[in-house]
């Protein structure tokens, strides 16, 4: 669906050259939600501008649905961009137009006749859950409602791809979740390919099927979300995973528990899929006569199943503790000894 081949983007500035994107190769499949995560300056916005043809790559090609976006311009590019829609962090609505007129705007530009336009606007307002707010102005809406207008406007011309530029970064956590659920629903209902950029792993966890992690212009890691969560490779990916696994808070809990219970091993156990629902810890206790002390736990859902981390202190005869760890490994559960008393 979307192919980026050997993409580099170098900006020439007064102070020299800046490489914003370097040697990126990516394939994004039809109908998936693909996340690009990175800290500020990683090159995410540049990537999104390359995807909709707002920027030309210095080297390489960008192909969207069979069309080489990176080599067309003028009318051809304008036409291609009608099929590549976008939503923004700060919504970019027209403040003097009502909800209905904001959504109608791209239809007016595309020359859709008035009666057809009105019908389509009504459908879109229902789709994004804004029924009854047709005549409200953006200033009368909450942040979440504004983004719903942004989404409806982006869907007006039946795009093939929706690009989301930090679309929930200006929203509170609850509103963020409701907008992410709307995007997931639209992806399922319309089979729309969604590419989003974010600096929040929560967004990736909640709706993405696959993810690419960017650092200093490069994709340092990519793959299925659940696999990246279970087995992050790059240091920066481990940091992002920590954002949602609560590992930072668990550090304090470990220090506290070692004061009172200085023996045993502190083990980080990572479960995915069905394993998250099995009574594995009670099995360890019964079978190997070990004590298991829970230090920190967290289970969250991804689009391809649950993902959980549990930090436990396992204490007992050394051989029994080792056998308990062996059992976890044999059940395909990842373990990592993080403190060895
Ligand atoms: N038009 C431009 N001219 C010169 N340098 C640019 C331009 N656009 C981006 N850059 C530089 O390219 C690098 C990547 O920027 P980019 O905006 O793509 O990163 P980002 O991951 O989106 O960060 P942020 O979330 O802060 O926008 C940065 O060093 C930035 O200063």
- Give the ipTM: 0.96
pLDDT at 330 (0 to 100)? 85
Q: Which residue has 């530029």 as its token pair?
A: 165
Is the dihedral angle over the CA atoms 147, 148, 149, 154 positive or is it negative?
positive
Q: Is 54 a pocket residue for ligand 1 (Cβ < 6 Å)?
A: no
Report which secondary-structure segment, H or E, holds 166: none
Query: 247: which 2 tokens?
Result: 């590992």
- Three-state DSSP at 303 gives coil
> How do beta strands 59-64 and 33-37 pair?
unpaired
Residue 176 C-alpha from the chain's centroid: 12
Q: Is 39 a pocket residue for ligand 1 (Cβ < 6 Å)?
A: no
Rounded to two decimals, the pTM is: 0.87
What is the rounded CA–CA span in Å between residue 161 and residue 191?
A: 10
- Three-state DSSP at 115 gives helix
Ligand 1 closest atom vs CA 46: 18
- Give distance in angstroms: CA of 45 to centre of ligand 1: 7
pLDDT at 152 (0 to 100)? 96
Q: Is 42 a pocket residue for ligand 1 (Cβ < 6 Å)?
A: yes
Q: Is 44 a pocket residue for ligand 1 (Cβ < 6 Å)?
A: yes
Is the dihedral angle over the CA atoms 50, 56, 59, 65 positive or is it negative?
positive
- Give distance in angstroms: CA of 46 to centre of ligand 1: 6
**Minimal CA–CA distance to 179: which of 132, 145, 133, 205?**
145
- Give distance in angstroms: CA of 20 to centre of ligand 1: 6
Query: 97: which 2 tokens?
Result: 């137009």
pLDDT at 5 (0 to 100)? 96
What is the rounded CA–CA span in Å between residue 136 and residue 106?
A: 18
What is the rounded CA–CA span in Å between residue 175 and residue 159?
A: 24
Q: Is 45 a pocket residue for ligand 1 (Cβ < 6 Å)?
A: yes
Take atom 28 of ligand 1 and give the residue whose Cα is closest.
41
pLDDT at 108 (0 to 100)? 95
Helices 99-109 and 114-127 pack at an angle, to 10 degrees, of 130
Give residues with Cβ within 8 angstroms of 257, minimum separation 6. 266, 293, 295, 313
pLDDT at 191 (0 to 100)? 93
The tens-digit pLDDT sequence of the chain (341 residues) is: 899 999 999 999 999 999 999 999 999 999 999 999 999 999 999 999 999 999 999 999 999 988 899 888 888 888 888 899 999 999 999 999 999 999 999 999 989 999 999 999 999 999 999 999 999 999 999 999 999 999 999 999 999 999 999 999 999 999 999 999 999 999 999 999 999 999 999 999 999 999 999 999 999 999 999 888 888 899 999 989 887 776 666 777 777 777 777 788 888 888 777 666 667 788 888 888 888 888 888 888 888 888 888 888 888 888 988 888 888 888 878 888 876 65
- Give distance in angstroms: CA of 43 to centre of ligand 1: 6
pLDDT at 277 (0 to 100)? 65
Across the beta sheet with 33-37, the strand order is 84-88, 161-165, 193-198, 33-37, 210-215, 218-224
Domains belonging to the chain, first-starting first, are 2-243 (3.40.50.300), 246-340 (3.30.70.260)
Take atom 11 of ligand 1 and give the residue whose Cα is closest.
20
Across the beta sheet with 16-28, the strand order is 16-28, 2-13, 59-64, 67-68
pLDDT at 19 (0 to 100)? 95
Ligand 1 closest atom vs CA 166: 25
pLDDT at 254 (0 to 100)? 74
């Amino acid at each position: 669906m979307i192919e980026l081949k050997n993409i580099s983007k170098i900006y020439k500035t007064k102070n020299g050259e800046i490489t914003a994107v370097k040697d990126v190769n990516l394939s994004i499949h039809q109908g998936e939600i693909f996340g690009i995560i990175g800290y500020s300056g990683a090159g995410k916005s540049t990537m999104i501008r390359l995807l909709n043809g707002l920027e030309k790559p210095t080297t390489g090609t960008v192909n969207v649905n069979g069309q080489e976006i990176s080599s067309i311009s003028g009318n051809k590019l304008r036409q291609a961009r009608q099929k590549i829609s976008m939503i923004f962090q700060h919504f970019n609505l027209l403040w003097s137009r009502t909800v209905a007129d904001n959504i109608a705007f791209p239809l007016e530009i595309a020359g859709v006749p008035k009666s057809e336009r009105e019908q389509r606007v009504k459908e879109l307002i229902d789709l994004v859950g804004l029924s009854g707010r047709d005549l409200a102005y953006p200033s009368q809406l909450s942040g979440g409602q504004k983004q719903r207008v942004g989404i409806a406007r982006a869907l007006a011309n039946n795009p093939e791809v929706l690009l989301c530029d930090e679309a929930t970064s200006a929203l509170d956590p609850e509103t963020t979740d409701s907008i992410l659920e709307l995007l997931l629903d639209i992806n399922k209902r319309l089979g729309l390919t969604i590419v989003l950029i974010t600096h929040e792993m929560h967004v990736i966890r909640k709706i993405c099927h696959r993810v690419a992690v960017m650092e200093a212009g490069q994709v340092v890691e990519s793959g299925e979300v659940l696999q990246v969560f279970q087995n992050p490779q790059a240091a920066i990916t481990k940091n992002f995973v920590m954002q949602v696994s609560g590992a930072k808070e668990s550090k304090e809990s470990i220090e506290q528990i070692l004061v009172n219970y200085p023996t045993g091993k502190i083990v980080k156990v990572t479960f995915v899929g069905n394993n998250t629902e099995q009574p594995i810890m009670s099995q360890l206790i019964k079978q190997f006569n070990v004590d298991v002390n829970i230090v920190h736990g967290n289970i969250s859902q991804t689009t391809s199943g649950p993902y959980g981390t549990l930090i436990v202190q396992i204490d007992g005869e050394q051989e029994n503790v080792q056998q308990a760890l062996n059992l976890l490994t044999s059940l395909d559960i990842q373990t990592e000894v993080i403190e060895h008393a």
